[in-house]
A and B are shown apart, each in its own frame.
Chain A
Amino acid sequence: KQEVTQIPAALSVPEGENLVLNCSFTDSAIYNLQWFRQDPGKGLTSLLLIQSSQREQTSGRLNASLDKSSGRSTLYIAASQPGDSATYLCAALGDSNYQLIWGAGTKLIIKP
C-alpha cells in the first residue's frame, strides 16, 4: 500500500532564501509524482508534474526532482518570496489503480 510522507510538517524561512521541500513514497510503482500548493480558501493549484520516466521538471523559480529508486522527490524553491507562503503537497499516482495518494503537506512561511 502506497504511503506518502512529507517532512517537515512546517517550515519558516526568511525571504530570499533557497529552500527544499521533501516528499517520500514507499512504492516505486508510480505513474507520476505531482506537487501542489494550497492557499487558504482557494483550493489547490498544480505546480509541477513529473512523469515516472523523468528526473526533474522546472517552472520559473521551482524545480522538482524525482528519484524512483530511493522513493524520493524534492521541490526546490529559489529566492523565496512572501507570496510563496502556502501549504505544499505532493501526491503519487499509482501506475495500476491511477489514484493519487497524498502527503500531509508542508506548511511554508516566508518571513519578510
Chain B
Amino acid sequence: KAGVTQTPRYLIKTRGQQVTLSCSPISGHRSVSWYQQTPGQGLQFLFEYFSETQRNKGNFPGRFSGRQFSNSRSEMNVSTLELGDSALYLCASSVAGGGQETQYFGPGTRLLVL
C-alpha cells in the first residue's frame, strides 16, 4: 500500500504571497491532520479533516486554512505569507482520526519564506 505523499517537497516563496500544499493519504484513510514543525516552536497541530469536514483546529491564525476532497486528499493554504511561516509542514492520515489511533506521516513540505 502506498504511503502518505506530500507535494511539493520544497517550496520557496516571498512575504505576502500565498501557498497551497497537497497531501494524499493512504488509501482507505478518511482523516488527514496537518502539523507545522519549526526549530523554535517544535511540532504544532494545525487542523484535522475527516470526510471533507474540518473536525478539529489548533491555535493558528485564519491565514491558515485547509480543505479535504471526496477522495480524502487534502490541501492546506497559507495566505499573506510571513517570514515566521517558514517551516516543515507535515500531514498525517489515519482511518478514523481524532488522534486516537496510529497516524501515518508523509515526508513533509519544507517551506521557506524570504
Interface residues of A (CB under 8 A from B): 31-32, 36, 41-46, 49, 89, 91, 93, 97-105
Contact = CB atoms under 8 A, between A and B. Distances in A.
Interface stretch (B11-19, B39-47, B68-76): B39-47
Given A31-B99, A93-B99, A98-B56, A43 B107 contact: yes
Contacts of A98: 56, 98-100
The 3 closest A-B pairs by CB, nearest first: A102-B43, A43-B105, A44-B105
A34 to B, nearest CB: 8
Contacts of B98: 98
Given A43-B105, A98-B56, 9 more contacts: A31-B100, A43-B4, A43-B90, A44-B105, A46-B103, A91-B43, A99-B56, A100-B43, A100-B45
Interface residues of B, number: 20
A107 to B, nearest CB: 12
A42 B99 contact: no
Given A41-B107, A42-B107, A43-B107, A99 B100 contact: no
A97 B90 CA distance: 20
Contacts of B42: 102-105
A49 to B, nearest CB: 6
Given A32-B99, A98-B56, A46 B104 contact: yes
Contacts of B104: 46
B87 to A, nearest CB: 13
Interface string B79-114: 000000000001010000011111111111000000
B58 interface: yes
B81 to A, nearest CB: 23
B32 to A, nearest CB: 14
Interface centre among B43, B44, B108 (most CB of A within 10 A): B43
Nearest to A32: B100
A104 B44 CA distance: 10
B99 A102 contact: no
Contacts of B103: 46
A102 B44 contact: yes
